[in-house]
A and B are shown apart, each in its own frame.
Chain A
């Protein structure tokens, strides 16, 4: 009965060398990257991959050797992800994000950006006008004394001193530290605004309003003391970047919320997925903007005490961001 060998054994014998070769190439690529592969390996790869895949189909129907089938399953999975996976390096991905992905995602979400702008600046305006009518509103919004005593009871001199830095003051590192805390807070708020968009965008709207109210009430305090112009300069040197970032984070949340609430012809899940990836790109950009804002705040604001220079920087940064996001550019075809 033992004259001829097993079919599955012969099948394996004929192909085993190729499987092992593919395994070796994949191991090398996984450990040290595509660049570690020789040209010979690269040309052999598609053939070896196709062969392994067809070996798997055949093995499933003729072989009962568990080990062979498990091995081929794992080999084919690894090969599939390598052959059809992304082979760009991290650097290329970052460049692509900066050159194309980010501005495209932002300029593709003008509607949600306007909506986020309305909620955020609506919150600011609401709190501002309420506080201007009756300063008691300030204490409704903030029941504890936040902001280092910047409240309606503070004197004009004190408020003025918070806007400009005394060159002889040694508390500069504290201010830099404050910008670090603020970054942390803003970055979390941004990611929350993005991620909570999932719940139809309602928590996002609330977050935007709430943060707007905080800024608006503080604004009213300074405005009432006749420091509106100076405070605007103090706020806007980094605020243009920061508020823009938070608005965009809100827009990212609304992109997702809109896709979940109104999926259109797609299934809700597909719609959420398509929107989620676009929104995540915007959210990533927000983190970058917030880093820049923190640098402007931590260093720029302490070093630059002239109102004109502060307004110039604010104006220039607004122009640059808008140009970066919204100016049509060549080679935008994907």
Chain B
């Protein structure tokens, strides 16, 4: 850390660090905008994260692919059977297929969203689910409402596109006008805070993330042996060097990153807190021990009502 450009009034913060901090705050704001608080009847708060438009579109693409696989599979099956039985019933078979396609297009979503997981296979693949906005139970009516609207949200723009392709000039202008109008429905989710489709609005639902998180072992459990504790005795000043943000970064490093990164991080922490490396001390053991010490210190301060958000946070 260089301390060349020190802004007035905040000693110890370089320009670069201040910038990064601002960027982090902006990121937190962005995440916060996508988070909604649900208060359970027990009075506890659960934070729900809304699915982004990109995730919704991705889930939809997967669902459409599955539907087409079903519909085309049935079509091929029918062609094959007709090849064996003769072509006399071709018209009837095609009409049947059209009806089948209608039902797949609409009831695919309804069937899966009424089900236990309240999510279509596409949504499930991306860890999304449908929920009511008021936290109540998801009724069949709501699922029907949000999915019947899809026929307009998607069907109408397509209808106008086909109308424009097949019509004369006047019809073309009409179609263009209709397309613009119907695109309001199509792009509705982009323009509202809750990322709702028109169907969601009408049904009182939204789509949230419901990832299945795994509980991993506590990092501090590795360091709980007495001899390890005796080896890494950090002074209070050393344990005060960082804040909550750095603690969380360190947790990610310990859980996910490669040995090389761990080595670099350990080196930087040793420099910062002035820790002399003892013989036989591994980077991993050092990082785990420092993590435990830092977390203990920060949690103690938190109990007293002080949240040291990051290393620049000097408190009041």
Contacts and interface: CB of A to CB of B under 8 A. Distances in A.
Contacts, number: 208
Interface in B141-173: 141-142, 144-145, 148-149, 151-153, 155-156
B202 A30 contact: no
A68 B156 CA distance: 46
Interface residues of B, number: 82
Contact of B115 (A29, A90, A191): A90
A181 B136 contact: no
Contacts of A101: 140-141
Nearest to B296: A6
A63 to B, nearest CB: 7
Given A2-B230, A66-B251, A76 B44 contact: yes
**Residues of A in contact with B, size category:** 35 or more
A243 B103 CA distance: 21
Contacts of B155: 188, 192
A306 interface: no
B44 A86 contact: no
B139 interface: yes
Given A77-B46, A277-B139, A68 B215 contact: yes
B135 interface: yes
A86 B106 CA distance: 22
A50 to B, nearest CB: 6
A80 B46 contact: yes
A273 interface: yes
Nearest to B196: A269
Interface of A: prevailing SS: helix
A97 B140 contact: yes
Interface in A35-92: 50, 53-54, 56-57, 61-68, 70-71, 73-78, 80-81, 84-86, 90
Contacts of A194: 148
B275 to A, nearest CB: 14
Interface of B: 38, 40-42, 44-48, 88-89, 91-92, 94-96, 98-99, 102, 106, 111, 114-118, 129, 131, 135-142, 144-145, 148-149, 151-153, 155-156, 198, 201-204, 210-216, 218-221, 224, 226, 229-230, 232-234, 244, 247-248, 251-252, 255, 292-293, 295-296, 298-299, 302-303
**Nearest 4 Cβ contacts at the A-B interface:** A180-B95, A2-B229, A276-B202, A280-B145
